[in-house]
Amino acid sequence: MSAPTKKPSPPTAGARGKARRTLLLRWSAGIATLALLAWLLPFEEISGAITRVPVSAWAFSLPAYLALHLVGATKWRLLLGAAGGGLPWIAAVRCHYYGLFGGTFLPSMVGGEVFRVGLALRLARSPEGVIVGTAAERILDVLSLGAIAGLGVLLLPQALDGPAARVVTFLIACGAVGLVVLILCLPLLGRAPRRLKRLLVRVRRPLRAMAAHPWELSAALTLAIGMQALLVLLNAFLGKACGLDLPFRVWLFAWPLAKLSGLVPLTQGGLGVREAAQAALLAPLGVSAAPAVAAGLAFRAVILVGGLAAGAIGFLLRYFTREPDATA
């Protein structure tokens, strides 16, 4: 008879208080950043560009945003399956939409993974497969953003001047530092705590399973690039509605880099940081800062409303997914 699985202990009051303080600080920092942008830039021009967006554009953008995240859920499930996670598609959509809500409104350095992975661990066949598949998905997402931005750089070599060059250099430096830290930490695994060693042994099997499914990995990378490219197209659509009519290759360059800059955990979901980075990246191309920030805020509105809608959809999908019996 196997021993019962130990349930994770609930978060302490101190941990909950720290999470609330982190959430408050990040939202405050994001709002302060937006207030600084509104003070430095012509506020009337920003608000006028946003109010210029027709209702039909908003009505199209929100369903399109949620539909694109169905692609994200499919990509995530594909990687979980390759790693042995075994999650039904409707359950993957539920988890993914919960994660979209959590990444928008709750404190987490890696977005809504606490929500998404926490629920998936209860529904999937293999917890280790969920962890390995989710980590692989994050890596593929960053690679897809880098690939799209690289294409934009090739199409717009003159974009790497002035502030844009500093933003790109900063992002490349962050990636290089992260890679160096990872390489330096590898020799320390032999002296890792016993609990960490046990975890590494447990994830060895899903890693080998994923390596044995190159077609699934290739399909997931294709979906990741396609999804990010369509998000660029949606951002360009909203930008044009704000009066910012730019060639698509310009958005291929600016939007992925702005999104990557928002991964720096300074504000909630990169609030204010992504908009400022987008303005800095578009400045060398002769785009004034106010409409660039307005286009970013229009997409931010879709993210916020989409996060709320995703949370509601995830809640409703609980009636279509079967959870394990707690008494079993």
Alpha carbon distance 211, 207 (integer Å): 6
Per-range mean pLDDT, top range of 31-45, 158-172, 277-291, 305-319: 305-319
Q: What is the pLDDT of residue 295?
A: 92
Residue 180 pLDDT more than 90?
no
In the DSSP assignment, the letter for residue 192 is S
Q: Specify if 103 maps to a domain.
A: yes
Q: Specify if 12 maps to a domain.
A: no
Alpha carbon distance 97, 321 (integer Å): 14
What confidence tier does 235 reach under pLDDT thresholds 50, 70, 90? Answer: very high
Mind listing the pLDDT tens digit for each residue in 250-300? 999 889 988 888 777 677 777 878 888 888 888 888 888 889 999 999 999
Residue 6 pLDDT more than 50?
no
DSSP calls for 14-32 = HHHHHHHHHHHHHHHHHHH
Tokens of 273: 């940081």
Q: Specify if 79 maps to a domain.
A: yes
Q: Average pLDDT in the 116-132 region? A: 86
Residue type, 311: G
Alpha carbon distance 71, 89 (integer Å): 11
Alpha carbon distance 16, 188 (integer Å): 31
Q: Specify if 299 maps to a domain.
A: yes
Q: What is the pLDDT of residue 214?
A: 84
Q: If you search the block for the tokens 């208080």, which residue do you land on? A: 17
- The size of the chain, in residues, is 328
Query: Comparing 13-17, 44-48, 95-99, 135-139, which segment has the lowest mean pLDDT?
Result: 13-17
Q: Specify if 13 maps to a domain.
A: no
Residue 9 pLDDT more than 50?
no
Task: Give the count of domains, the chain.
Answer: 1
Alpha helical stretches, state H, 186-241: 194-211, 214-241
Alpha carbon distance 255, 295 (integer Å): 11
Mind listing the pLDDT tens digit for each residue in 155-165? 876 666 555 56
Alpha carbon distance 225, 235 (integer Å): 15
Query: Comparing 62-66, 172-176, 282-286, 303-307, which segment has the lowest mean pLDDT?
Result: 172-176
Q: What is the pLDDT of residue 178?
A: 61
Tell me the average pLDDT of the chain: 79
**Other beta carbons within 10 Å of 43:** 12
Residue 235 contacts residue 298 (beta carbons within 8 Å): no
Q: Specify if 35 maps to a domain.
A: no
- Percentage, residues of the chain above pLDDT 90: 29
Q: Average pLDDT in the 29-53 region? A: 85
Alpha carbon distance 3, 201 (integer Å): 20
Question: Quick one: which H or E segment has residue 58?
Answer: helix 55-82
Mind listing the pLDDT tens digit for each residue in 90-113? 999 999 999 999 888 775 545 567
Alpha carbon distance 51, 224 (integer Å): 32
Residue 326 pLDDT more than 50?
no
Tokens of 181: 């830290």
Q: Specify if 70 maps to a domain.
A: yes
Nearest residue to 223 (alpha-carbon basis) of 65, 69, 62, 63: 69
* Residues of the domain holding 247: 44-320
Q: What is the pLDDT of residue 132?
A: 87
Q: Specify if 26 maps to a domain.
A: no
**Other beta carbons within 10 Å of 86:** 15
Alpha carbon distance 28, 237 (integer Å): 29
Residues 6+ apart with CB under 8 A from 158: 284, 285
In the DSSP assignment, the letter for residue 325 is P
